[in-house]
Amino acid sequence: MTKLRQLQEQSIAPAVPHIGLYLQVLFIIDEGKEDTSTETGGVNYVKMMMLNDQIEKLMQYQQGRYEITEIPQIQKLLYQEFATQYKMSEKHIDQLADIVRHTEREK
Per residue in 61-106, pLDDT (tens digit) is 888 888 889 999 999 999 999 998 888 899 998 998 999 998 888 7
Can you say whether the dihedral through the CA atoms of 38, 39, 41, 44 is positive or negative? Answer: negative
Distance CA(56)–CA(26), nearest Å, equals 12
Domain ranges for the chain, please list them: 2-62, 72-106
Provide the whole-model pTM.
Answer: 0.58
